[in-house]
Structure 1
Amino acid sequence: MAWQQLHLQCKKDDVDLAEALLLEAGALSIALDDAGDQPLFEPLPGESPLWDDVILTALFDANTENGNADAVEALSHNVAAEVNANRVWVSGLDDKDWEREWMIHYQPIECANDLWIVPNWLTPPKPEATNIIMDPGLAFGTGYHATTRLCLDWLTEQDLTDKVVIDYGCGSGILGIAALLLGAKQVFAVDIDPQAVLATNQNAERNQVADKLQAFLPQDFDEFRIKQAIAPVDVIAANILAKPLIGLAPYFATLIAKKGKIVLAGLIESQTEAVKSAYQPYFSIDSSHAFSAQEDQHWQRLSGEFTG
């Protein structure tokens, strides 16, 4: 074995101490995973929420004094005692081509109405289809998450020909790029994360729609649309979280044209009524557009039309 892994389950309050002890003992890296089934929604930049019960996995070089099987086994008992671990175990790990290992988890995805998401290192399985070529990168929105799929499926059902679209909370830019490939003439993509703005621009180039897409941080977008006197848009897609969606309702009402369409995602079933209530003063929300993704019965989508 080229590597030894020490796995340790503890409460989130003990994670910092466990990490410090493992790094001090020579761990090359530490990964954190959910020890139960507790959802964590996409955090804001700078936030690092943790599950109540966490599994830490520390990686050691088996060819070193501190990383051989006996040393890691002894360390596991010492660290477990210090942090009151619920359980601890050690496993071996063969060497791999780690730079490419993560790529095997991504395969082309078929969405509704012949729309495909294809990782940029693979060949589209159906070249004649509408193919979004994506680099998963560091931004949210690979198409593998239920909320993204819900929005993509909705976009394929709309007549986007010559429409102007805002992709708010753009992440990787996948929704805005899909809108352009489906006929939209212009997309304004907005995200609070600079990494998302970068990823969106790169993916727009990759899909040959960069001339029709502009990506912004929120303040920059507001300055741009005021300076350029941007007219109200035809469609807003916002795949974020319930709390920011609620706060953005009156703002979105200032961005969209009469009878403009909106789609909202990033919600679980218990949040839909609060979000609907926030949007109903401005939009007619069609409850028939609220449904769960097949992959996860908790995720919901809302859509509607701006009433003014």
Structure 2
Amino acid sequence: MDWREVTIYTTTEGIGPVEAVLEDNGIEGYVLEDAADFEEFLKDTEIYWDYVDEDLVREKRAQETCLKIYLSDDEAGAKQYAALRTSLENLKARDEEHAWGRLVTETALTRQEDWEWGWKQYFKPFPVGHSFMIKPSWETVDDAQGRRILEIDPASSFGTGSHDTTQLCMCALEDNVKPGDTVLDMGTGSGILAIAAAMLGAEVRTVVDIDENCLRTAQENAEKNHVSIGRGLCGDALRDEKLAEDIGSGYSVIVANIVADVIIGMAPMFFAKTAEGGTLICSGILNERADEVRAALEKAGFEVVNHAKSDDWSAFTAKK
């Protein structure tokens, strides 16, 4: 399958609102090119200005902040792109102070081989939390610094470990998972969180995703790390009653790194599927939606025991 690269032009101030639009449209991964980052680089490296190409400086200073996403080049991707453009038009109508830039899009076709291989040069091993070292399958680690090496090849799935939401969830797993715990991973993507839970000694029984490709990728990544992540179920548990029933219940830990609206909608289901005394870990939440998510979790019956934050993202740990 080929992919449509969509570039959304905005400003530094518009990054958060555009991220919210992407989340609302079910788009979690993106590449950010923030014009302000280059100015910060010039300030931090002033003594090295003689080594910075003047043409590059002019080019970067003229560059607009943009976010790049990738949609499948098929009917489903076209529908998602149309919905995204409508959302951006609505966002622009709300921008009375014109602080969020042009909010227009440009598209280009990306071949499958470019999608799968072009970005890999930027994905290097890095530590996460207290105990993990994330390593892409094509890299080597000479010194793991006493950490568990989690090898991942996300292919076209979400979850390299570099996104704040994934790292917040991994830290929460470190703090809450005990050997023998039973785990459900909702929205597994590359399988990284299920694999982390298994490496911490949990029995991962079920992973769920709306994309069959993600389930295959997750199982392949689990094999790379010599752990089991149980059965894979495909579909939308909010709308598919049989799938919701097949997922089962009585899980010690449920981890869900998905969008805010889905977490809010699934909060009662999560509560029903969590064992007494069990834990729900959820992320993918912009901080401006955090109060809504907390309210939904508490209404469902959970006690929120921790709210971890990064710059724009949140993760909740809740107990039943």
What TM-score do you get using the length of structure 1 for normalisation? Answer: 0.68
- Residue identity in the other structure for 1:283: F
Say which SS state the counterpart of residue 41 (structure 1) adopts: helix
User: Deviation at 1:178?
Assistant: 0.4
User: Deviation at 1:58?
Assistant: 5.3
Say which SS state the counterpart of residue 131 (structure 1) adopts: strand
Question: How far apart, CA to CA, are the structure 2 residues paired with 1:171 and 1:99?
Answer: 15
Question: How far apart, CA to CA, are the structure 2 residues paired with 1:31 and 1:218?
Answer: 25
Q: Give the aligned partner of residue 300 of structure 1.
A: 314
Instruction: Tell me if structure 1 keeps the 8 A contact 2:251–2:278.
Output: yes
Sort the Cα spacing of 1:247 and 1:215 in 2 relative to 1 into closer, same or farther, 3 A.
Answer: same
Gap regions ≥5 residues in structure 1: 1-27, 60-96
Q: Give the aligned partner of residue 185 of structure 1.
A: 203
Match of 1:33 among 7, 22, 39: 7
Sort the Cα spacing of 1:108 and 1:198 in 2 relative to 1 into closer, same or farther, 3 A.
Answer: same
User: Deviation at 1:225?
Assistant: 8.5
Instruction: Tell me if structure 1 keeps the 8 A contact 2:235–2:243.
Output: no
Higher deviation after alignment, 156-165 or 113-122: 156-165
Instruction: Tell me if structure 2 keeps the 8 A contact 1:155–1:179.
Output: yes
Q: Give the aligned partner of residue 46 of structure 2.
A: none
Q: Give the aligned partner of residue 104 of structure 1.
A: 121
- Identify the structure with the greater helix proportion: 2
The superposition leaves residues 274-303 of structure 1 with CA deviations (integer Å, 9 ceiling, x where unpaired) of 1111111311012xx22322xxx1101111
What TM-score do you get using the length of structure 2 for normalisation? Answer: 0.66
Sort the Cα spacing of 1:194 and 1:113 in 2 relative to 1 into closer, same or farther, 3 A.
Answer: same
Equivalent pairs counted in the alignment come to: 235
Does residue 1:56 correspond to 2:106, yes or no? yes
Question: How far apart, CA to CA, are the structure 1 residues paired with 2:246 and 2:147?
Answer: 38
Does residue 1:158 correspond to 2:132, yes or no? no
Question: How far apart, CA to CA, are the structure 2 residues paired with 1:276 and 1:244?
Answer: 13
Question: How far apart, CA to CA, are the structure 2 residues paired with 1:137 and 1:42?
Answer: 23
Sort the Cα spacing of 1:134 and 1:299 in 2 relative to 1 into closer, same or farther, 3 A.
Answer: same
Say which SS state the counterpart of residue 292 (structure 2) adopts: helix
Question: How far apart, CA to CA, are the structure 2 residues paired with 1:104 and 1:305?
Answer: 40
Percent of aligned pairs sharing the same letter: 29
Sort the Cα spacing of 1:44 and 1:272 in 2 relative to 1 into closer, same or farther, 3 A.
Answer: closer
Say which SS state the counterpart of residue 157 (structure 1) adopts: helix
- Residue identity in the other structure for 1:35: Y
Say which SS state the counterpart of residue 203 (structure 1) adopts: helix
The superposition leaves residues 132-163 of structure 1 with CA deviations (integer Å, 9 ceiling, x where unpaired) of 11002111111111111110111111242011
Query: Where does 1:234-273 land on structure 2 (aligned, <5 Å)?
Result: 234-273=252-291
Say which SS state the counterpart of residue 245 (structure 1) adopts: helix
Q: Give the aligned partner of residue 214 of structure 1.
A: 231
Query: Where does 1:71-150 land on structure 2 (aligned, <5 Å)?
Result: 100-127=117-144, 128-150=146-168
The superposition leaves residues 244-288 of structure 1 with CA deviations (integer Å, 9 ceiling, x where unpaired) of 1011011111211101011110111111111111111311012xx
Sort the Cα spacing of 1:114 and 1:223 in 2 relative to 1 into closer, same or farther, 3 A.
Answer: same
Sort the Cα spacing of 1:30 and 1:153 in 2 relative to 1 into closer, same or farther, 3 A.
Answer: closer
Instruction: Tell me if structure 1 keeps the 8 A contact 2:188–2:207.
Output: yes
The superposition leaves residues 174-205 of structure 1 with CA deviations (integer Å, 9 ceiling, x where unpaired) of 10000001110233111112221121111112
User: Deviation at 1:129?
Assistant: 2.1
Instruction: Tell me if structure 2 keeps the 8 A contact 1:180–1:187.
Output: no
Instruction: Tell me if structure 2 keeps the 8 A contact 1:173–1:200.
Output: yes
Say which SS state the counterpart of residue 290 (structure 1) adopts: strand
Question: How far apart, CA to CA, are the structure 1 residues paired with 2:217 and 2:24?
Answer: 17
Q: Give the aligned partner of residue 304 of structure 2.
A: 285
Sort the Cα spacing of 1:171 and 1:269 in 2 relative to 1 into closer, same or farther, 3 A.
Answer: same
- Which structure: larger Rg? 1
